[in-house]
Chain A
């Protein structure tokens, strides 16, 4: 299919983009790589009257002051592969990027677009929830910082208001004695995930001191496994308790039941992925 008619505007600065988005309200959408928005428009599931092209704006950067990692909204997925900050501090993030679409999508898609689209199984949405990211949104009214857990409201629904756009994402940099992993299962390479699990752990003297676990596929937004996270605190890095943590989580969820997988299948899958992701993270911690 082909998209419905719209007017096209090329923003020359952030202020210009925000003015245009304020003018068009719900009828306006920013476009960056278009890897999520254009399919929606081709299917006419999205019919914005105005597209504001933000590709020329200076929002393509990955920077850190040691405390926070700030990623500009236009950063393409491919940029994470050779970024030393991501490799050193955010191993689950780096794992997750390998599962995003395929090379052509990764070269063109942006983090701002991915999280604004809010597909329930989008890898970067899960990464934001895992690492307690804050989403930085701007409008002509100013800047708003939204915690990732408050940003994703439902499938394809975010806390963004009309006239607002994502300009960046900030992630607190984990301490050096930390690591993580991300594992996803999809029917085909690059397809939407049936389920995915991300784990981030901090450790000291052979024990886990803090754990974070995120899951895609259990609900319409990425969710944290708080009970399993608390359970893992103080446990040894040999991952002997990984299966118990996974069981705690898998029995607490009410997974999506759809044409790809039944709820029961997903519960089993999520349990297994949780166990493996915890084990992978612990193995990396022991190697450090």
Chain B
């Protein structure tokens, strides 16, 4: 067992973990953050994407023991309890989800991308959007709704000057 301290969505906890425990499992079981979805557990689907010290990371390919002292954000930190982030709202209006299993991963992968595009004051073309989300698999939507949602979210961000 190994002692680690994690700051997750603003809550800091020190806990003992077995080295073999994946960050995804520790977030789900010790922090009760069930928005961290585990699809494939080998880095192919993107469902478990979280932000580790500010950048997207697959929590199924990360041992919690490696994250001592790190700051982690999960989908629960985005947009408040009513999912009001512009990307979450756009997923809703543009049919960016159906069953929703992959959605937290898409949101965590794409929020930094949307913010980057808004920062650069430009709407990305579809090829750029598809490249940005190429590590996430969705088996319901066929991706068109998700691409539309990203485009809309960037547009909303540009209009509101966020």
Q: Which residues of A contact B (CB under 8 A)?
A: 1-8, 31, 34-35, 38-39, 42-43, 51, 53, 55, 101-105, 107-108, 189-190
Contacts and interface: CB of A to CB of B under 8 A. Distances in A.
A5 B17 CA distance: 12
14 contacts: A1-B41, A2-B22, A5-B19, A7-B19, A8-B63, A35-B58, A38-B60, A42-B22, A102-B134, A103-B109, A104-B49, A104-B135, A105-B43, A189-B131
A34 B109 contact: no
Contacts of B58: 35, 104-105, 108
B60 A105 contact: no
Interface in B103-159: 109, 130-132, 134-135
Given A1-B41, A2-B20, A107 B55 contact: yes
Interface in B64-106: 65-66
Main secondary structure of the interface of B (DSSP, over half): mixed
A12 to B, nearest CB: 13
B162 to A, nearest CB: 22
Nearest to B105: A104
Contacts of B49: 104
Given A38-B63, A108-B57, 7 more contacts: A5-B20, A8-B2, A8-B66, A38-B62, A103-B135, A104-B58, A104-B109
A103 B20 contact: no
A42 B56 contact: no
Interface of B: 2, 18-20, 22, 25, 41-43, 46, 49, 55-58, 60-63, 65-66, 109, 130-132, 134-135
Contacts of B131: 103, 189
Nearest to A188: B134
A189 B134 contact: yes
A11 to B, nearest CB: 12
A38 B65 CA distance: 13
Contacts, number: 77
B61 A35 contact: yes
Nearest to B18: A5
Contacts of A4: 20
A7 B135 CA distance: 30
Contacts of A108: 57-58, 61
B61 A34 contact: yes
Nearest to B17: A8
A8 B65 contact: yes
A53 B46 contact: no
A3 B20 contact: yes
A20 to B, nearest CB: 14
Nearest to B108: A104
A124 B60 CA distance: 23
Contacts of B57: 104, 107-108
Contacts of B43: 35, 38-39, 105
A53 B132 CA distance: 29
A55 B25 CA distance: 22
A2 B63 contact: no
A208 to B, nearest CB: 32
A51 B19 contact: yes
A103 B41 contact: no
Contacts of A102: 46, 134-135
A271 B29 CA distance: 51
